[in-house]
Amino acid sequence: MEVKGGNPLTENYSVLRPEVLTRHDGAPLAQRNALFLKTLLSSDAVVIAGQAASHCVKSSIDDLLGEILAQDPALAAKVYILTDCMSAVTVPDGKGGFLADFTPQAEDAFQRFADAGMRLVRSTDPVESWPGIKL
């Protein structure tokens, strides 16, 4: 587990790097979480869950995928996304519908991650049935 957002001067949608890395004058403000990235990329399997699938989790996986593609696209196969342990941001309208519903964006991101080789799994599926898992 990794906690994000420790720097009050920049937003952290992604757990791997803040949204803004430099100040207005070009000086460093924050940096990507290189140690956590190294841990993830050297692990046998990476299981991802959290909130929200359409925003923070998506940003974290996007950053992870960028690192994977830069190093070795085959590493994507060791990433398991627990699709039923997260949800998209929605804003109810009080009448049974939604003022905003980011579910399509989350679903598009899941498809993009799967197309890159990451595994979409459910928490209710036995781990030994997950593709590529060697217990």
pLDDT per residue over 15-58, tens digit each?
A: 999 989 999 999 999 888 999 999 999 999 999 999 899 999 99
- 55: in domain: yes
HEC profile of 109-124: HHHHHHHCCCEEECCC
Residue 135 has pLDDT above 90, yes or no: no
Provide the token pair at 104.
């399509």
Residue 108 in any domain: the answer is: yes
> For residue 1, what pLDDT is reported?
73
- Establish if 69 belongs to a structural domain: yes
Return the SS3 of 20.
coil
Longest CA span, the chain: 51
Q: What is the value of pTM for the model shown?
A: 0.90
Classify residue 31: in a domain, yes or no: no
Question: Per-residue confidence at 105, pLDDT binned at 50, 70, 90?
Answer: very high
Classify residue 70: in a domain, yes or no: yes
Q: What is the pLDDT of residue 7?
A: 83
- Whether 84 maps to a domain, the answer reads yes
pLDDT in tens, 62-92: 999 999 999 999 999 999 999 999 999 999 9
103 in a structural domain? yes
Number of domains making up the chain: 1
> Of the candidates 72, 73, 67, 81, which has an alpha carbon nearest to the alpha carbon of residue 122?
81
The domain containing residue 96 runs over which residues? 44-123
